[in-house]
Structure 1
Amino acid sequence: MPGNVLLLLVLIPDLMRTGASHLSRLTGPLQVNIALLDLLLFLYNVPVMFGNMLFESWRLGYVVCVTYNSLSLSIIFADFYSLLAVSLLRYMAVIHPTRTLAVSQRLIGWACVFIWALSFLFSIPLWIHYTTVEMEGETYCVNQMPKQQLSLYFRLLGGMAFLLPMLVMILCYSSIIFTLWVRRGLAIHTASSLQVNRRATVVALVTVVTFVVMWVPYWLVVFLMKDGELLTTGPRYLASNLTTLLAYANRCVNPIICFSLSSQCQAGLRKFVRRTGCCL
């Protein structure tokens, strides 16, 4: 969580910086969006998840039951589509660089709003069907959607929130890598812009690959779920919790990647340190 807060403190001032490149000004709001999503996950969902693991029954009330499960899905969806938007912008900057000039920072801001709205739309079934129930004197947080519908819903969601954006990102970065490294860049790219694009592409690609690898086990569990029977045994329950922890741990990795590989984030960190009077 401290890493995500620090990343926000570095990224937000850069949004107003006039000297930044056009592509940096476009990807900046999306990176801030991702950092905000990560912070929300850490501040709310992770504490609730650990609190729930301490007890056999649900002790956090109806409101937390509904918001925890629904927000988790919304954050996952918005994270993937924010990364997808970054990938598409980098694809345009490398393959069709003149087209990015027609894209404004305001348009990207509206794209972030659209991503949040779309993620909420896909989570509506969870807002409707999650509730608390009493069984044998214990309270449980359950999804009361019919089992076959629940299985179909999560598989459809996995396709829309994970598989589709992952395939598009693979296509984008395959084209980018072929252009920047195999063809040595298009004629319209100068040597300096080619180097900048390569460095930025490495950062984005590492972020996407790490994100996908750490989320694949979680979605495999979702796809293997059959009519809500996945968590009926101890090993399956453990597998579900471990894959969820691995997926959530990915949100700790993003700031590390940015500060380790991104020259823009490193420069922003140095400026932040100078502004606050700290020393490294």
Structure 2
Amino acid sequence: MNNTTHTSNSVNYTATSWKPESVIIPLVFSLIFLVGTIGNSLVLAVLFRSGQMNNNTTNLFILNLGVADLCFIIFCVPFQATIYTMDEWVFGPFVCKAVHFFIYLTMHASIFTLATVSLDRYLAIRYPLRSRELRTPKNALTSICFIWGLSIIFSGPYLTYYKQIDMNGTIACIPVWRVPQRKIMDICTFVFGYLIPVLILSLTYARTIRYLWTAVDPLEDMSESKRAKRKVTKMIIIVTVLFCLCWLPHHLVILCLWYGYFPLNQATYAFRILSHLVSYANSCLNPIVYALVSKHFRKGFKKVFSCILRKKVTNKVHVVQVAHTVSTVEAVSTEVSHINEPQPSSSSCSQSNGRQWGAGEQTSPHDKSPNTFITFNVT
């Protein structure tokens, strides 16, 4: 996933010709950044407020996906967008290495998480009783730690793959490995970071779908539990298909560059830009899918928004009351502190919406307020 191009010739080419992307691309990147940051932050807020993080393995994996997407958006998208607007790299050698490391780190973390959750869904649907001892939050957290550890191993070499260099007075962030080493690294990334996980996803979901649509008698009433599992599986499958489709053009470009025919002209340059935009846009699509497919996420999003608006209105009322009290009466400090006490209307926002998340449990009304959760967590 190299926006800076793989050869010095392509860097010179992109820096000197055809520049409409210097305006269009930053706008698209800005939209991706805005939608992705808000959307994934809302997903994290809804999951934390749902009160089901301690007994729902699927929510833990969805949370991990949101963290990976948010990391990618914050650490990668803003810096990569400048490649099409500036003639040289201006962020220094450390950021040059770090940005590309996080690109591949989050890519591996996302695809490994999707592969793991596909196995989780298969066990939950095919062996609902026997898999309970295996599908525990503790094992899910262990899997997530293993996913990030494995992602670090596969993306670690990219800390030396890229380097900031001076090319005839122009500072560029480009690959510095020798061609044979780069070929091996790119092929390993494709095989272990895309091909094998996609094969696992295809196999598990094929068996899951086959069981869902053949093992259940359509004439019999399906239980609420089975309906819920089918809806969750449908949502995860859509997320998986979108990830595979969005990242496929990027891998095709790399493969064509090394083993096919990929001339450096305006058409291939435009296709490379498109492949970057599509792969980067994937980081902001998951919240949209959750909102469209899951009524529980829609309710959660509405709840978070209502709490935000209610909190803003309450704060404005407090400010007006304080200003009015101080200007008309020589109020003592106890009166002002009394005005600023939390109001009952906003306390309800701190309560979880646990009944919507399948387990039927509610968290304590003393949970933190939504303002604590709606933070732009750096992934």
TM-score by length of 1: 0.88
1:124 aligns with 2:156: yes
| CA gap 1:27/1:225 in 2 versus in 1, 3 angstroms | same
> Offset of 1:269 from its aligned partner?
2.8
> Offset of 1:16 from its aligned partner?
4.5
Choose the corresponding residue for 2:118, options 79, 87, 97: 87
> Offset of 1:68 from its aligned partner?
0.8
1:175 aligns with 2:207: yes
Look up the match of 2:172.
140
CA contact (8 A) 2:205 2:237 kept: yes
Please give the secondary structure, in 1, of the residue aligned with 2:216. coil
| CA gap 1:126/1:227 in 2 versus in 1, 3 angstroms | farther
Output the CA distance in 1 between the equivalents of 2:253 and 2:51.
Answer: 38
User: Counterpart amino acid of 1:64?
Assistant: V
| CA gap 1:273/1:53 in 2 versus in 1, 3 angstroms | closer
| CA gap 1:30/1:233 in 2 versus in 1, 3 angstroms | same
Output the CA distance in 1 between the equivalents of 2:120 and 2:210.
Answer: 16
Deviations 1:42-78 (A, max 9, x none): 1121111111211232222101110111110111010
Choose the corresponding residue for 1:34, options 65, 85, 110: 65
User: Counterpart amino acid of 2:295?
Assistant: S
| CA gap 1:233/1:262 in 2 versus in 1, 3 angstroms | same
1:263 aligns with 2:295: yes
CA contact (8 A) 1:158 1:219 kept: yes
CA contact (8 A) 1:29 1:108 kept: yes
Please give the secondary structure, in 1, of the residue aligned with 2:236. helix
TM-score by length of 2: 0.66
Deviations 1:133-163 (A, max 9, x none): 1121111112211111211211121111111
| CA gap 1:71/1:10 in 2 versus in 1, 3 angstroms | same
Q: Provide the alpha-carbon RMSD of the alignment.
A: 2.5
Look up the match of 1:3.
39
Please give the secondary structure, in 2, of the residue aligned with 1:131. strand
Unaligned runs of 5+ in 2: 1-36, 312-379
CA contact (8 A) 1:3 1:256 kept: yes
Output the CA distance in 2 between the equivalents of 1:230 and 1:130.
Answer: 21
Please give the secondary structure, in 2, of the residue aligned with 1:98. coil
Please give the secondary structure, in 2, of the residue aligned with 1:100. coil
Choose the corresponding residue for 1:72, options 74, 90, 103: 103
User: Counterpart amino acid of 1:238?
Assistant: A
- Select the structure with the greater relative contact order (CA < 8 A; seq sep ≥ 6): 2
Identity of aligned residues (%): 26
Larger relative helix fraction: 1
Please give the secondary structure, in 1, of the residue aligned with 2:88. coil
Q: How does 1:209-248 map to 2 (within 5 A)?
A: 209-226=241-258, 232-248=264-280
The count of residues paired between Structure 1 and Structure 2 equals: 272
Return the index of the structure with the highest Cα Rg.
Answer: 2
> Offset of 1:93 from its aligned partner?
0.5
Unaligned runs of 5+ in 1: none
> Offset of 1:277 from its aligned partner?
5.8
CA contact (8 A) 2:243 2:282 kept: yes
> Offset of 1:246 from its aligned partner?
0.5
